[in-house]
Structure 1
Amino acid sequence: MSEKNLERDVYAAIADPTRRQLIRLLADAEELPLHELTAHFQMGRTAVSKHLAILKDADLVIARRVGRETRYRLNANPLKEIQDWISYYEGFWKERMAKLNLLLEEKK
């Protein structure tokens, strides 16, 4: 794996449920400041900031300074990599289910 892939491992970034929830929150809003994101978790701002930093390293989150606060927004483009990977298995399971249905029909 190249050094760039180590920095931007989308799969590792979304592996954590807290980070997936952060992605969901940001998907539902145009932009949110840290204090609003933190309100959705039972952890402090520092812990939420660390999760956001991992998402930022994976290019899933874009941070913007507005005065003294940092606002975050989702960059969903890297999720396309995951969608492409999953789509292969979607075809795999459709084929398997079709074969199973044929087998079940033959057993009737």
Structure 2
Amino acid sequence: MLVAFSVAPSGTGHDDGSVHDAVAAAVKVVRDSGLPNQTDSMFTTIEGDWDEVFAVVKQATEAVAAFGSRVSLVLKADIRPGYSGELTAKVERLEAALDELTP
């Protein structure tokens, strides 16, 4: 399973709205988990089974909670039993398809 998630605090009291310290705390939890993961400017994606992935999402959310009075969590999951390595394989298939479209 792949789970892409974004977690951020609100009610931080910071005038500039920056949440990078809180996001860093969440990403550290993900990276320390040992699960395959990837972070971009909007989401962090983790690969693993249901229980291990959602345990990490919960821990990351708890890490962010220390930075504000509320937490916003957005999730998207790709549940495909019997497949692993999809964090990179899906992108490789996409790139191959794009190559076929290029004259």
For this structure pair, what is the TM-score category when the shorter chain's length is used for normalisation?
Answer: under 0.3
Pick the structure with more strand per residue: 2
Which TM-score applies when normalising by structure 2? 0.27
Pick the structure with more helix per residue: 1
Q: Which has the higher contact order (CA 8 A, sep 6+)?
A: 2
